[in-house]
């Protein structure tokens, strides 16, 4: 995949330049940089990237509030697809990460990832696929998700899903990719993509990650359901 456009938001110039070099070497254009949340919001509005790599902890406006504003703005990439925000963090159990996911981020990355993982992750999330390993999803949800009707509309919208769509959503929450869903359900990949698209539309969520978070919050699945499903 080529022609991807990325904004890197991090208060450390070394991180920004390092990510830029890695992505550029693989044909991914860094079209904007930001040292704080305000700069990140402005850069996204100006350059309309496919993906934003957003540090969660920055001076002034932090990555969490910047993510909220970007999602609220509803900016799209040049091809009309939604702009995806990916959170950068040092700690995979940072409570800000879960807050960012519920605010509309499409996943998160630990800063100690390899160059290959960085490139693969940007390409993956730009395609609309999930960017959460099942083990990390379980740990985050087990620690931070609240099932106290904080999102009552979600329970009503789950009722609009067909039995097959509920089955697909449960498997999504276990971390299965489209290819794995197709194999498990003995369906074509195109049929799986159609089911996923309908699920996102009925639940009124931006992407697969938001659907997974909702599934856990509504207790459709529990953290223990995904045990042993990590592809890694």
**What is the model's pLDDT at position 146?**
55
> What's residue 178's pLDDT?
82
pTM passes above 0.85: no
Note the pLDDT of residue 149. Answer: 45
> What's the pLDDT at 1?
43
Regions of the chain short of the pLDDT cut 70: 1-2, 91-94, 129-155, 222-232
pLDDT at residue 228 in the model = 40
Query: What domains lie within the chain, and their CATH numbers?
Result: 5-131 (3.40.50.2300), 142-224 (3.40.50.2300)
- What per-residue confidence (pLDDT) applies to 130? 60
The 3-class SS string of the chain reads CCCCEEEEECCCHHHHHHHHHHHHHCCCEEEEEECCHHHHHHHHHHHCCCEEEEECCCCCCCHHHHHHHHHHHCCECCCCCECEEEEEECCCCCHHHHHHHHHCCCCEEECCCCHHHHHHHHHHHHCCCCCCCHHHHHHHHHHHCCCCCCCHHHHHHHCCCCHHHHHHHHHHHCCCCHHHHHHHHCCCHHHHHHHHHHHHHHHCCCCHHHHHHHHHHCCCCCHHHHCCCCCC
């Amino acid at each position: 995949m080529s022609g991807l456009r990325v904004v890197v938001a991090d208060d450390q110039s070394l991180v920004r330049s390092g990510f830029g070099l890695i992505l550029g070497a693989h044909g991914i254009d860094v079209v904007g940089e930001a040292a704080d949340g305000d700069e990140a919001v402005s850069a996204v509005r100006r350059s309309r990237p496919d993906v934003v790599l957003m540090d969660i902890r920055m001076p002034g406006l932090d990555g969490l509030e910047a993510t909220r504003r970007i999602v609220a703005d509803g900016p799209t990439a040049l091809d009309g697809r939604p702009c995806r925000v990916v959170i950068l963090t040092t700690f995979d159990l940072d409570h800000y990460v879960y807050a960012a996911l519920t605010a509309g981020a499409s996943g998160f990355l630990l800063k100690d990832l390899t160059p290959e993982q960085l490139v693969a992750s940007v390409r993956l999330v730009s395609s609309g696929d999930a960017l959460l390993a099942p083990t990390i999803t379980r740990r985050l949800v087990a620690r931070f998700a609240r099932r106290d009707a904080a999102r009552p509309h979600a329970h009503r919208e789950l009722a609009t899903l067909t039995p097959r769509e509920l089955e697909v959503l449960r498997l999504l929450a276990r971390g299965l990719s489209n290819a794995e869903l197709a194999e498990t359900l003995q369906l074509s990949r195109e049929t799986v993509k159609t089911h996923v698209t309908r699920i996102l539309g009925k639940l009124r969520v931006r992407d697969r990650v938001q659907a997974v978070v909702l599934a856990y919050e509504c207790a459709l699945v529990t953290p223990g359901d995904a045990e042993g499903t990590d592809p890694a």
